[in-house]
Homo-oligomer: A and B are copies of this chain.
Amino acid sequence: MKQAEELEAPSTRERILAAALDLFTEQGFDKTSLREVSERVGVTKAALYYHFRSKEEMLSSLVERAHGIGHHGFDVLPLFNGPIDFAAALGTFSALLDQVLSNRKIFVLMERNRTAIEGLGDHDPAHQEEHRQLERQWAEFVANPKISLRDRVRVSAALGAVMAGAVGTTRGLGTDAPEGLKDELLSVLRDLFGLAQPA
């Protein structure tokens, strides 16, 4: 995510990642061979192995960025252990929304390659641990009996709505950044959380 990427000539490594991102998203991780990636980049298959230990490390590198985002968003989950402060939750979701909107491509990749990403830790234990923890936190939240079913469903629905709105729209519209989408989704969140709409 250094800004230099778009100014300098992109390094081979970056070009590989860009090609992999597109192919993994279009065809799926498992159905994309390294041969295809190398052909698109214009290097040989073996050259990929200079830059990445394995195919999984490519996926790993791509998903890494999104993990930081999820981390920030989900860090607050353990704090929810009773009636939810929806005004505060709106702030969290708003920040999450920003991140998702400005990293749409990666979130589409993740949405479409869930199983591949989950089974990723075999060669990358650190990554797996981070992922497992996120999953566990969410599972615990969803099943937490100290929180009313209503509140859990609302938060869960909010997450689904944000993802569907931000990611689902992207697929239909290509790579457009739809004007006003963020405001509409914030409005959705307020309705979901029982908060007043601003003038």
Contacts and interface: CB of A to CB of B under 8 A. Distances in A.
Contacts of A163: 160, 164
Contacts of A184: 149-150, 153
Contacts of A31: 30, 115-116, 119
Interface residues of A, number: 46
Contacts of A138: 172
Given A157-B164, A160-B163, A164-B157, A28 B116 contact: yes
Contact of A153 (B30, B116, B165, B172): B165
Q: Which of A112, A164, A194 has the most CB of B within 10 A?
A: A164
A121 to B, nearest CB: 13
Interface string A143-168: 10000011001101111111111001
A34 interface: no
B169 A142 contact: yes
Stoichiometry, copies per complex: 2
A17 to B, nearest CB: 19
Nearest to A119: B31
A96 interface: no
A57 interface: no
Given A153-B184, A160-B161, A164-B157, A172 B142 contact: yes
Q: Give 7 nearest A-B pairs by CB, closest first.
A: A160-B164, A28-B115, A30-B30, A157-B161, A142-B172, A160-B160, A153-B184
